[in-house]
């Protein structure tokens, strides 16, 4: 396991619960203190009662999620309330961190200054500067809250169609211009209503691709409506059919077999360590699909990436691999697979650029966050070359759904149209 992944898991297991507790205590105490400013006891008691009611609902919903009981309503106004609650969890933690960072800067500045001058900071100008620091701290705490509301209300369903040309060495002239439409990471459920899945499918159908693929994570957990999701996917239209692969959340929900059966019922195919040949204008393309390639984020045995896939790779035609986990790309390139299509990352879901550096949570688990990547292609490529300056390509789709945080910021949900070109 790499250091980044180890650090990420430690942060999830240890730091996040501690930060969650400290941040909620901070905000509750702040609201409690603020309520003292109300002259009328009625308003003060109403605010405090509302805080207590939300806290109780928050604890119950969290317990329901962690225990997987499924007894809490998830439709109608409850869906909106749960979404806002989930939004609050992440925004409030970030707001708390920002507030503490500014306060730490204030204490460092004045503590060092008072130590050097050997006197207490009682001068008017120091008091003004302290007031300025406290104002900045409050503004810093509010920034994540405002950004979260914007990401929830504006960006999460603003689908973007990305058109990407992929050069394939030795591609048959008949396949030059061949198009694949890709949807990934739907996560139908609390944060992704069925009508939004339908809208994404309609957009994909309007692109007129020759084949449609869905690269995993139809749902988030076992309580999500898998049947409804597959029914919407079945509305995809492409001359060479609709194909898919399982993601890690199908593992979590124990829904891999159910997803496969539903695909078959609706005339589609979920590829599980399988291949199929697609023919277009007399030329052929080898389409391979695999279940989620397990890594440190999934419990259980972890065989080598793409174990058993080598016999599925063809040497006489280009290969396209559907693999939810982009980290399988290293092995795919080694095996001579010309194009891999993945998802999994959601593009980080939040991407903030500060001083030419992108702050993106997905960078803790993969180098392939979103977009098109390439590596030298390995031995056994269909054109009979070994390396020779030619490349294998990976496209990582940012997905249309969300997990944990019901918002996107700096990362639009995407539907991808990939066009194969002669390299």
Q: Is the pLDDT of residue 114 over 50?
A: yes
* Same domain membership, residue 181 and residue 144: no
Q: Give percent of the chain above pLDDT 70.
A: 82
Q: How many domains does the chain have?
A: 2
Compute the distance between CA of residue 165 and CA of residue 420 in angstroms, rounded to an integer.
Answer: 6
User: Within 10 Å of residue 108's Cβ, how many Cβ atoms?
Assistant: 10
Higher local confidence (pLDDT), 67 or 183: 183
Higher local confidence (pLDDT), 382 or 187: 187
* Same domain membership, residue 336 and residue 212: yes
pLDDT of 115? 56
* Same domain membership, residue 316 and residue 254: yes
* Same domain membership, residue 144 and residue 43: yes
Q: What is the pLDDT of residues 153-206, one digit of tens each?
A: 777 899 999 999 999 988 999 999 999 999 999 999 888 999 999 999 999 999
* Same domain membership, residue 331 and residue 188: yes
Q: Alpha helices, DSSP H only, in 151-301?
A: 194-205, 226-233, 248-252, 256-265
* Same domain membership, residue 86 and residue 141: yes
Q: Is 35 left (phi over 0), alpha (psi -120 to 50) or beta?
A: alpha
Q: Closest Cα to residue 364, out of 354, 350, 385?
A: 350
* Same domain membership, residue 90 and residue 168: no
Higher local confidence (pLDDT), 270 or 387: 270
pLDDT of 199? 97
Residue 196 tokens read as 């939004």
Phi/psi at 422 (nearest 5 deg)?
Answer: -70, 125
Q: What is the pLDDT of residues 74-95, one digit of tens each?
A: 666 666 777 777 788 888 888 8
* Same domain membership, residue 403 and residue 336: yes
Q: Alpha helices, DSSP H only, in 323-399?
A: 329-335
Compute the distance between CA of residue 344 and CA of residue 342 in angstroms, rounded to an integer.
Answer: 7
Q: What is the pLDDT of residues 218-247, one digit of tens each?
A: 999 888 999 999 999 999 999 999 999 999
Q: What average pLDDT does the structure give for the chain?
A: 85
Q: What is the pLDDT of residues 27-52, one digit of tens each?
A: 888 888 888 888 788 888 888 888 88
Compute the distance between CA of residue 55 and CA of residue 170 in angstroms, rounded to an integer.
Answer: 61
CA distances from 293 to 73, 147, 392 (A): 33, 34, 19
Q: What is the CATH number of the domain that holds 250?
A: 3.60.21.10
* Same domain membership, residue 393 and residue 375: yes
Q: What is the DSSP letter of 188?
A: B
Q: What is the pLDDT of residues 261-296, one digit of tens each?
A: 999 999 999 999 999 999 999 999 999 999 999 876
Compute the distance between CA of residue 282 and CA of residue 175 in angstroms, rounded to an integer.
Answer: 9
Domain boundary among 107, 124, 155: 155
Domain boundary among 139, 155, 171: 155
Identify whether the C-beta of residue 190 lies closer than 8 Å to the C-beta of residue 82.
yes
pLDDT of 303? 77
* Same domain membership, residue 352 and residue 215: yes
pLDDT of 86? 78
Domain of residue 382, residue span? 160-422
Q: What is the pLDDT of residues 395-410, one digit of tens each?
A: 999 999 998 888 888 8
Prediction pTM value: 0.81
Compute the distance between CA of residue 96 and CA of residue 27 in angstroms, rounded to an integer.
Answer: 8
Domain boundary among 109, 133, 155: 155
């Amino acid at each position: 396991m790499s250091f980044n992944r180890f650090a990420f898991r430690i942060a999830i297991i240890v730091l996040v619960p501690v930060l969650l507790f400290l941040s909620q205590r901070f905000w509750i105490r702040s609201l409690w203190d603020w309520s003292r400013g109300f002259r009328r006891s009625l308003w003060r008691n109403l605010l405090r009662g509302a805080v207590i009611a939300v806290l109780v609902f928050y604890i119950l919903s969290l317990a329901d999620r962690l225990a997987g009981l499924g007894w809490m309503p998830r439709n109608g106004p409850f869906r909106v309330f749960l979404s806002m609650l989930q939004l609050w969890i992440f925004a409030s933690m970030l707001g708390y961190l920002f507030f503490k960072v500014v306060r730490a800067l204030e204490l460092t500045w004045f503590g060092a200054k008072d130590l050097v001058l050997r006197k207490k900071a009682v001068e008017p100008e120091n008091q003004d500067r302290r007031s300025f620091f406290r104002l900045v701290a409050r503004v810093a705490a509010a920034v994540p809250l405002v950004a979260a509301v914007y990401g929830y209300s504006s960006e999460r369903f603003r689908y973007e169609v990305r058109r990407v040309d992929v050069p394939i060495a030795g591609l048959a002239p008949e396949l030059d211009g061949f198009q694949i439409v890709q949807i990934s990471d739907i996560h139908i459920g609390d944060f992704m209503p069925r009508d939004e899945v339908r809208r994404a499918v309609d957009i994909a159908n309007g692109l007129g691709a020759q084949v449609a693929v869905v690269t995993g994570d139809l749902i988030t957990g076992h309580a999500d409506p898998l049947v409804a999701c597959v029914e919407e996917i079945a509305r995809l239209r492409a001359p060479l059919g609709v194909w898919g692969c399982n993601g890690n959340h199908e593992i979590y929900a124990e829904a891999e077999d159910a997803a496969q059966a539903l695909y078959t019922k609706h005339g589609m195919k979920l590829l599980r360590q399988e291949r199929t040949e697609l023919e277009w204008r007399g030329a052929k393309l080898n389409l391979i699909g695999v279940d989620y390639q397990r890594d440190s984020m999934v419990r259980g045995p972890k065989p080598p990436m793409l174990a058993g896939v080598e016999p599925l790779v063809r040497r006489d035609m280009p290969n396209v691999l559907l693999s939810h986990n982009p980290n399988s790309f290293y092995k795919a390139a080694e095996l001579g697979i010309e194009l891999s299509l993945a998802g999994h990352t959601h593009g980080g879901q939040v991407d903030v650029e500060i001083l030419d550096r992108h702050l993106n949570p997905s960078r803790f688990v993969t180098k392939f966050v979103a977009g098109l990547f390439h590596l030298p292609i390995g031995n056994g490529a269909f054109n009979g070359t070994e390396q020779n300056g030619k490349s294998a390509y990976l496209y990582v789709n940012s997905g249309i759904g969300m997990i944990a945080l019901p918002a996107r910021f700096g990362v639009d949900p995407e539907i991808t149209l990939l066009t194969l070109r002669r390299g």
